Amino acid sequence: MANGMTDALEVLSENWWAIALRGVVGIMTGLLAFLLPLPTLIALVWLFGAYAFLDGLFNLIAVARRRTHSRPWWALVFSGIAGVATGVISFVWPGITALVLVYLVAAWALITGVLEIVAAVRLRKEIQGEWLLALSGVFSVLLGALLAVAPGPGAIALVWYLGTFAILFGVLLVALSFRLRGRQEEMRSQRAHAAA
For residues 179 and 181, give the distance between their C-alpha atoms in angstroms, rounded to a whole number: 5
CA atoms within 13 A on the CB side of 173: 24
Q: Is the pLDDT of residue 2 over 60?
A: no
Q: Which residues contact 26 (CB under 8 A, 6 or more apart)?
A: 166, 167, 169, 170, 173
Answer yes or no: are the C-beta atoms of 60 and 15 closer than 8 Å.
no
Domain boundaries, the chain: 23-190
pTM of the model: 0.53
| Spatial CA neighbour of 183 closest among 120, 130, 128 | 128
pLDDT cut 90: percent of the chain above it: 12
Mean pLDDT (whole number) for 86-100:
83
Strands (E), the chain: none
Q: Given this model, what pLDDT does residue 1 score?
A: 45
For residues 133 and 118, give the distance between their C-alpha atoms in angstroms, rounded to a whole number: 9
- On average, the pLDDT of the chain sits at 82
pLDDT digits (tens, 9 = 90+) for 11-64: 777 888 888 898 999 999 899 989 988 888 888 888 888 988 998 898 888 878
pLDDT digits (tens, 9 = 90+) for 126-152: 777 777 878 888 988 998 888 888 776
For residues 13 and 59, give the distance between their C-alpha atoms in angstroms, rounded to a whole number: 40
